[in-house]
Structure 1
Amino acid sequence: MKLSLLEFGEGDAGSNSLVRLRNVFDYALRADELGFHRIWLAEHHHYNRRRAWGCPLAVIPVIAGMTERIRVGTGGILLRLHNPFDVASQFKLWNNIYANRLDLGLANGGSPKIESLELPPAPGATASFDSKFEQVVAFLRDEERLRERRIVLPPFQGAVPDLWALSTSARGFHRALQHGTHYVRSIFHEVAEREPQLEAFEAFKAQFAQRHGRPVKTILAISGSCLRNEARLRALRREGERDDKHHLIGTASYFSEVLPELLQTYGADEIMWRDMSKHLDEKLETLELLASVVGQEQQACVACPAH
């Protein structure tokens, strides 16, 4: 089982932006040591004076430089706010600096407050999300066509980061299918569709393989908390009831059953975990417990006669 992380850069009420940023660095370093597969940073522009970042682009190469094995990426860039050429250029360069460990997740979202600033429009600023999505894919993959126009994204013929289409719907995979990107489905956002619709999802994977000649990678994004202290878990459940998001909360024993079941039910390849706790000590405890769950699952898989 592959287990990855999604980080929003949040923190407890007593921490300011720089403390929260340092906590994310500690979190990423520990995740790297424990063997987590990816850590992605989300882009949000909610009003919060203590937020670690709005756009994570400046933080991505810092974490990539601090870590050794874990893949680093965005979950996702709100492409309506960005220039597709700039995004493609930065991620291609970072991907080649950091040993082909970069993931570029693209999300169809924006920020009315940012868009209302009336900044000078960038090229393609009026383009739709789908148009910008297509441009990013083309800039990264159509290198020869760019070369004919005497344009290059350094390094020439360098490795391209993995591209991911993000969605909250069981049927939101059309961009991945059209452009040959990988696919992430969230079931924790307040607007997320939680019905598995496994038959439709398996049909998408079959169509993808037929059209692109390779399997698609798929991720299921969830939110929750995994701790030892039952009293604290009860408090988090009460907190979760007041939240619009969907959270899974329990001990390591609970998640040893739930995580494999989720992969099977939704047909995904790996789980991406967003920790609902805002306390670093709890998040680090969760990392340890989830790493033990994955380790137990892998040992059971090796011991199975079918393997």
Structure 2
Amino acid sequence: MSALSLLELVRVTPDTDAGAALNNARDLAAHAEEWGYKRIWVAEHHNMAGIASAATSIVIAHIAGGTRTIRVGAGGIMLPNHAPYIIAEQFGTLERLYPGRIDLGLGRAPGTDQIAVRAMRRSPDASDRFPQDVLELQAFFAPAGPDQRIAAVPAAGTQVPLWILGSSDFGAMLAAELGLPYAFASHFAPDMLLPALDLYRSRFKPSEQLARPYAVAGINVIAADTDAEARRLATTQQMSFADIFSGRRGLSRPPIDDIETYWSPHERAQATRMLARSVVGSAQTVRSGLQEFVAETGVDEVMIVSDVYEHHARLRSIELIAEAMKQ
């Protein structure tokens, strides 16, 4: 069976401010470590009141400090927002603090709106340089040469493992060309999943970091003691996606009994398409759904998104998922 990992959204809710959301993420990681999850990632998002992971490297340090063995990383750093040199310094520092446990997933999108892009003082066309920036970042993690005039201290020599993230064929081709592991965001962009995986595997070139293709795919999984309760918990995520299309931007919402009372037909259609790669139900339902997902995709690792409103219910969800996949 493929390995299990987590993408933690660090959700802010009306009942949980940003500080509590960050502490909940750390607590979730500690439990996930006990339950056998391989890694936990957080993503860079800006100008979003409902997500508290904007300062991604700091969030990673907070989570890693509360765990012992689970890998912790970025899923991902939106590289067009940053100078590669600065990211090398940050993640090199994380690797020195938590050796052998840090992952650096890299995305090409800004992870925000154009207002925030301007506020970050980054060029709107910075994404065009993404392949070159990945290579530059990789070079900063390599051992510094004797005549090298600039080094990313303390990153040089840490060889922090890089990942390419994507939701289209661009990331698949780049990951294959550079011989890097590839993570596909099928938890919100499911349409290109299978073609992108095929492209990545067929064009993969071995590298110093990776000898053979290694693919991860995201999937939304919400587990509870019964199918009915899981479906109710899932309305939190469904409302979040409906809000994207309605322009309602705000905090994560508590679950409701009937999602049809919340979204419009258009919002329902759009959200349902984006959430097509989802498994919602009891442990038995989850086990069957994840087995089918792995059989269909052949991924080496499944990255779970369990977007549940209340912290203890979310802990129960990821515990049930782990138990289901050990049966």
TM-score by length of 2: 0.78
Report the equivalent of 1:208: 204
What one-letter code is carried by the residue in structure 1 that aligns with 2:161?
D
Report the equivalent of 1:91: 91
2:326 to 287, 295, 306: 295
**Identical amino acids, percent of aligned pairs:** 28
Matched, 1:160 2:159: yes
Matched residue of 2:204: which SS?
helix
Report the equivalent of 2:249: none
Alpha-carbon shift at residue 28 of structure 1 (Å): 1.0
What one-letter code is carried by the residue in structure 2 that aligns with 1:139?
F
Q: Is the 8 A contact 1:5 1:36 kept in 2?
A: yes
2:221 to 205, 208, 224: 224
Report the equivalent of 1:117: 119
Q: Deviations over 1:123-164 (max 9, x none)?
A: x979732332232122223x355x432333345763312111
Distance 1:251 1:53 in 2: 29
Alpha-carbon shift at residue 115 of structure 1 (Å): 1.9
Report the equivalent of 2:191: 193
Matches within 5 A, 1:146-295: 147-155=146-154, 158-169=157-168, 172-189=171-188, 191-194=189-192, 196-197=194-195, 201-202=197-198, 204-209=200-205, 214-237=211-234, 243=241, 244=271, 245-246=274-275, 247-295=278-326
Matched residue of 1:54: which SS?
coil
Distance 2:293 2:169 in 1: 14
Matches within 5 A, 1:64-103: 64-103=64-103
Matches within 5 A, 1:4-83: 4-48=5-49, 51-83=51-83
Distance 1:211 1:33 in 2: 32
Report the equivalent of 2:251: none
| Count of aligned pairs | 288
Q: Is the 8 A contact 1:169 1:192 kept in 2?
A: no
Matched, 1:137 2:138: yes
Distance 1:171 1:85 in 2: 23
Matched residue of 1:59: which SS?
helix
The CA RMSD measured in Å over matched residues stands at 2.7
Change (3 A) 1:17 1:251: same
Q: Which runs of 5+ in 2 are unaligned?
A: 242-270
Distance 2:192 2:205 in 1: 25
Change (3 A) 1:60 1:210: closer
Q: Deviations over 1:40-98 (max 9, x none)?
A: 001111431x6423231111122212211100000111111111011112212322321
Alpha-carbon shift at residue 26 of structure 1 (Å): 0.9
Q: Is the 8 A contact 1:170 1:196 kept in 2?
A: no
Distance 1:36 1:241 in 2: 25
Matched residue of 2:194: which SS?
coil
Distance 1:125 1:241 in 2: 32
Matched residue of 1:153: which SS?
coil
Distance 1:89 1:157 in 2: 9
Distance 1:68 1:195 in 2: 33
Q: Is the 8 A contact 1:171 1:201 kept in 2?
A: no
